[in-house]
């Protein structure tokens, strides 16, 4: 879709690829990029042929966060009106399909939040993560104060958010923020391996699994377990559940339909 200026949006097979494309500004997210991201994510959500989404960055950064050049003129009233500030993160989290972040370099501020909102994060070993918003007079606004403590615990999250210091991809892996760290030249190979693993699964069952795990981050254990059992039961209403269990028992490859 060539109408985008700040991202590249491509569909290949069952995969939608979104590349943040302002490399000269380290893929800082300005209003136009956020609006384009929303359009691309909404399209990927609606398109039944798209079963996995991958987000990456052009150049040496994944994204250096919000475009600070817009900050001096923004007012609280502007921010109330601008749903696009957090909408991309909400779309990624709620979309009933897996979204992979292929973190090719710096993931700071909104870039770190964008990666954290994805279901699976694979980073190159030269990537760095951080929430440096305090250094420009704000706090994280795309989920950083809520998601990061859930991933790494309160103390590490507060240290990162209070100091703005960056951590290496290896450290992010050790802390449980990301799934995998690979040499830069292997990043896309590893992402493709993950994509292929996900494409083998039933999309409807993956959607239920994503809903159930998301629930774990936002509710009590009792409510979460209730949600899980409801979704578990719902699996039995799908054709894929019948097909997958039958194929296992008959030792045959399954014919997944996605319903």
Footprint on this chain of ligand COA (rule: CB under 6 A): 25-26, 28, 64-69, 106, 108-109, 132-133, 135-136, 138
Backbone dihedral angles phi then psi of residue 77, each to the nearest 5 degrees: -60, -40
- Catalytic, 113? Answer yes
Nearest distance from C-beta of residue 259 to ligand COA, angstroms: 42
Q: At what angle do helices 239-250 and 203-216 cross, to 10 degrees?
A: 110
Sheet bearing 99-103, strands edge to edge: 7-12, 15-20, 52-57, 99-103, 120-124, 180-182
Nearest distance from C-beta of residue 69 to ligand COA, angstroms: 5
| Non-local CB neighbours of 161 within 8 Å, separated by 6+ positions | 131, 133, 134, 139, 140, 144, 145, 148
- Catalytic, 154? Answer no
Question: Looking at beta carbons only, is 132 or 203 nearer to ligand COA?
Answer: 132
Out of 36, 113, 171, 185, the active site residue is 113
Q: Report the half-sphere exposure of 46 (CA within 13 A, side-chain side).
A: 6
In angstroms, the CA 124 to CA 28 distance is 19
Question: Looking at beta carbons only, is 28 or 120 nearer to ligand COA?
Answer: 28
Nearest distance from C-beta of residue 88 to ligand COA, angstroms: 15
In angstroms, the CA 45 to CA 203 distance is 12
DSSP state of 11: E
Question: Looking at beta carbons only, is 136 or 229 nearer to ligand COA?
Answer: 136
Nearest distance from C-beta of residue 29 to ligand COA, angstroms: 8
Nearest distance from C-beta of residue 101 to ligand COA, angstroms: 17
Question: Looking at beta carbons only, is 161 or 256 nearer to ligand COA?
Answer: 161
Q: Kindly give the residue spans of alpha helices, DSSP state H, lying in the chain.
A: 31-46, 76-81, 87-94, 110-117, 144-152, 154-163, 169-174, 187-199, 203-216, 221-235, 239-250
Nearest distance from C-beta of residue 144 to ligand COA, angstroms: 10
DSSP state of 66: B
Backbone dihedral angles phi then psi of residue 60, each to the nearest 5 degrees: -90, -5
Question: Looking at beta carbons only, is 141 or 258 nearer to ligand COA?
Answer: 141
Question: Looking at beta carbons only, is 56 or 63 nearer to ligand COA?
Answer: 63
Instruction: Give the tokens for residue 235.
Output: 């699996």
Out of 133, 171, 223, 228, the active site residue is 133
Q: Which residues are catalytic?
A: 113, 133
């Amino acid at each position: 879709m060539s109408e985008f200026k700040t991202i590249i949006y491509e569909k290949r097979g069952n995969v939608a690829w979104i590349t943040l494309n302002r490399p000269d500004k380290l893929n800082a997210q300005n209003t136009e990029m956020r609006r384009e991201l929303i359009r691309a994510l909404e399209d990927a959500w609606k398109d039944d042929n798209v079963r996995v989404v991958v987000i990456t960055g052009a150049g040496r950064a994944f994204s250096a966060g919000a475009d600070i050049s817009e900050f001096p003129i923004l007012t609280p009233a502007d921010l109330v009106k601008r749903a696009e500030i957090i909408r991309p993160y909400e779309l990624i989290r709620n979309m009933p399909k897996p979204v992979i972040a292929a973190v090719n370099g710096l993931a700071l501020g909104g870039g770190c939040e964008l990666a954290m909102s994805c279901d699976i994060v694979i980073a190159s070993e030269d990537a760095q993560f951080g929430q440096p918003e305090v250094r420009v007079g704000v706090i994280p606004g795309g989920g950083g104060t809520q998601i990061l403590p859930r991933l790494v615990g309160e103390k590490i999250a507060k240290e990162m958010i209070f100091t703005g210091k960056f951590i290496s991809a290896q450290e992010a892996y050790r802390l449980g923020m990301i799934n995998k760290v690979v040499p830069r030249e292997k990043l896309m190979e590893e992402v493709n391996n993950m994509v292929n693993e996900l494409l083998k699964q039933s999309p409807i069952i993956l959607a239920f699994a994503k809903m159930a795990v998301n629930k774990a981050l936002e509710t009590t254990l009792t409510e979460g377990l209730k949600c899980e059992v409801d979704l578990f039961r719902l699996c039995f209403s799908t054709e894929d559940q019948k097909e997958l269990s039958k194929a296992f028992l008959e030792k045959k490859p399954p014919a997944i339909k996605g319903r």
